Amino acid sequence: MNFQNTREFAQELDRQDELAKYREEFIFPQVNGKNVIYFTGNSLGLQSKAAKKYVEEVMQDWGNLAVEGHFYADKPWWDYQERFCQPLSEIVGAKPTEVGVMNTLTVNLHLLMVSFYQPSSKKFKIICEEKAFPSDQYMFQSQVAFHAKSIGFDPKEAIVEIKRREGEHNIRLEDVLSKIEEVGEELALVLIGGVNYYTGQVFDMKTITEAGHKVGAFVGWDLAHAAGNIELKLHDWNVDFAAWCSYKYMNSGPGNASGYFIHEKHHNDTTLSRFAGWWGHNKERRFLMEPNFDPARSADGWQISNLPVLTLAPYLASVHMFAAIGMPKLIKKRDLITSYLEFILHEIDAEIEGTEFEIITPSNPNERACQLSVYLHGQGRALFEYLMKNGVITDWREPNVIRLAPVPLYSSFEDMYEFGQILKKGILG
Ligand SMILES: Cc1ncc(COP(=O)(O)O)c(C=O)c1O
Ligand SMILES: Nc1ccccc1C(=O)C[C@H](N)C(=O)O
């Protein structure tokens, strides 16, 4: 499409946008009496109007029914999580029995590593990406330290990071594959962010998963920046496990629950260790209070505690909205609005001397989703602060990168145009 950097053109794209009406379903913070231009749905998604209704429903049931709500609420609490399985399975490309919600992201990745990182003295290495999100790095370090002494391997050798090549911002697939081959039989686990939080790079999960399996490793994915953002086919890709937070693209609220996936091929595997609790016990027999753990033969078998229902309520509102729309439409708009933002950035960059906006996110549409990370050469933190003051909510990452994520559910094309104008003013004064 031949884009134009005019308000009329952006408004025309909004008129043609079949998802435009969903913007009304969200609450935008106000700056100078106007909706902000919100680019940080990759950090915390906006509150939907439905979220409050779902929470209020639980509050009312709690008030009216108290303990009886577990079984007699409209959406009974004891199996509240089952309402997620169908819609979530569509979002991440899984069978409904392969997904669940519980805890928070890093906690779930730790718990999944209990099952899928069982090192021996010969097979103990973990492949991850260089500069993974810090929480993942700390997780790897602590998992390795936890096992190293009893198994007797050198913790310093255990974590193998895939590096970017000199002068490049993104990791090459060929480098991931050759590292997997090089580590070979010593490789116990590959665990990478499916979409890199800093650059927005989307990894070829199918190919990497296959390569990991070829050398006998488990392969898992941190899908924090992927769930609700990109097409996923976790079942077909034969991924062993994955987890994601729900507060980014899935708009479930700050620090909210994590979704997780465990491939059905593992559901009956009793050799996998796991940390158990009564909510993972055989569902029909859960309330018999039996002494021995009999795990549910599905992803539910990894549940531990009864559910934080109030917390799950806004997440349920969100998955219902995603289910009503479907990922294909979101992805279609995502690609158009991201390309439009890219075009606007190039236009403004070309107009202004002395600046250079280097988009470090891959330009190949197969390797990016809705985030553009922009290196603002010639500009400093003052520009970021100007943007924030003028109603553009973005984030700053050292040394000089802003991340912009136009979210297809609630961002408009006119937002992109307006952002360009504010950016220009911020630079030219
Ligand atoms: C890739 C990635 N992993 C892990 C986390 C941490 O998640 P949590 O604090 O929910 O455990 C985040 C974001 O906060 C993230 O972007
Ligand atoms: N949960 C948060 C709480 C406080 C500050 C940031 C976060 C984020 O989620 C950061 C996000 N993971 C990121 O990619 O930057």
Residue 295 backbone phi and psi in degrees, to 5: -65, 140
For the chain, domains (ranges, CATH) are: 7-47+327-428 (3.90.1150.10), 75-325 (3.40.640.10)
Structure tokens at 191: 């665990």
Give me the sign of the Cα torsion angle 217, 222, 225, 227.
positive
Q: Residue 379: its pLDDT value, please?
A: 86
Residue 420 backbone phi and psi in degrees, to 5: -55, -40
Given pLDDT bands bounded at 50, 70 and 90, which one contains residue 62?
very high
Q: Residue 353: its pLDDT value, please?
A: 86
Cα separation, 336 vs 417, in Å, equals 14
In eight-state DSSP terms, residue 3 is: -
Mean of pLDDT values over 309-329: 97
Given pLDDT bands bounded at 50, 70 and 90, which one contains residue 76?
very high
From the alpha carbon of 197, which atom of ligand 2 is closest?
14
Q: Is 410 in the pocket of ligand 2 (CB under 6 A)?
A: no
Q: Which residues contact residue 246 at a Cβ distance below 8 angstroms, ignoring those fewer than 6 apart? A: 101, 227, 252, 256, 257, 258, 259, 315, 318
133 is in an annotated binding site: yes
Task: Measure 265 CA to ligand 2 centroid, in angstroms.
Answer: 32
Mean of pLDDT values over 128-138: 97
pLDDT at 335 over 90: yes
pLDDT at 399 over 90: no
**Residue type at 210 in one-letter notation:** E
Task: Measure 106 CA to ligand 1 centroid, in angstroms.
Answer: 6
Q: Residue 94: its pLDDT value, please?
A: 98
Q: Cis before residue 362, ω within 30 degrees of 0?
A: no
pTM score above 0.90: yes
From the alpha carbon of 258, which atom of ligand 1 is closest?
10
> What's the mean pLDDT when you consider all of the chain?
96
Q: Which of 112, 129, 113, 210 is nearest to 163 (CA)?
A: 129
Q: Which residues contact residue 264 at a Cβ distance below 8 angstroms, ignoring those fewer than 6 apart? A: 95, 97, 98, 235, 298
Residue 277 backbone phi and psi in degrees, to 5: -155, 170
Residue in the block written with tokens 């021996």:
120
247 is in an annotated binding site: yes
Ligand 1, pocket-test mutation among 222, 245, 371, 373, most atoms within 8 A of CB: 245
For residue range 9-51, what is the model confidence (pLDDT) as tens digits?
Answer: 999 999 999 999 999 999 999 999 999 999 999 999 999 999 9
Q: Above pLDDT 90, what percent of the chain?
A: 93
Cα separation, 173 vs 375, in Å, equals 23
Residue 238 class from Cβ within 10 Å (0-12 exposed, 13-18 middle, 19+ buried)? middle
Q: Residue 115: its pLDDT value, please?
A: 98
Q: Residue 1: its pLDDT value, please?
A: 85
Q: Are strands 392-393 and 125-129 parallel, antiparallel or unpaired?
A: unpaired
Query: Of how many residues is the chain composed?
Result: 429
Q: Is 43 in the pocket of ligand 2 (CB under 6 A)?
A: yes
Task: Measure 251 CA to ligand 1 centroid, in angstroms.
Answer: 14
**Residue of minimum CA distance from atom 11 in ligand 2:** 43
User: Which residues contact ligand 1 via a Cβ below 6 A?
Assistant: 104-106, 133, 135-136, 193, 197, 222, 224-225, 245
Structure tokens at 106: 């890093």
pLDDT at 415 over 90: yes
Mean of pLDDT values over 340-348: 96
pLDDT at 286 over 90: no
Q: Above pLDDT 70, what percent of the chain?
A: 100
pLDDT at 270 over 90: no
pLDDT at 402 over 90: yes
Task: Measure 116 CA to ligand 1 centroid, in angstroms.
Answer: 19
204 is in an annotated binding site: no
Q: How many CB atoms lie within 10 A of CB 401?
A: 18
Given pLDDT bands bounded at 50, 70 and 90, which one contains residue 388?
very high
From the alpha carbon of 247, which atom of ligand 1 is closest?
10
Q: Residue 378: its pLDDT value, please?
A: 84
Q: Residue 81: its pLDDT value, please?
A: 95
Given pLDDT bands bounded at 50, 70 and 90, which one contains residue 53?
very high
Is there a contact between 407 and 41 (Cβ–Cβ < 8 Å)? yes
Q: Which of 39, 91, 47, 90 is nearest to 337 (CA)?
A: 39
Q: Are strands 258-262 and 99-102 parallel, antiparallel or unpaired?
A: antiparallel
Least confident range of 52-56, 223-227, 318-322, 398-402:
398-402
Residue 305 class from Cβ within 10 Å (0-12 exposed, 13-18 middle, 19+ buried)? exposed
pLDDT at 111 over 90: yes
Q: Is 197 in the pocket of ligand 2 (CB under 6 A)?
A: yes
Q: Which of 300, 208, 241, 245 is nearest to 118 (CA)?
A: 241
**Residue of minimum CA distance from atom 2 in ligand 2:** 43
Cα separation, 265 vs 169, in Å, equals 36
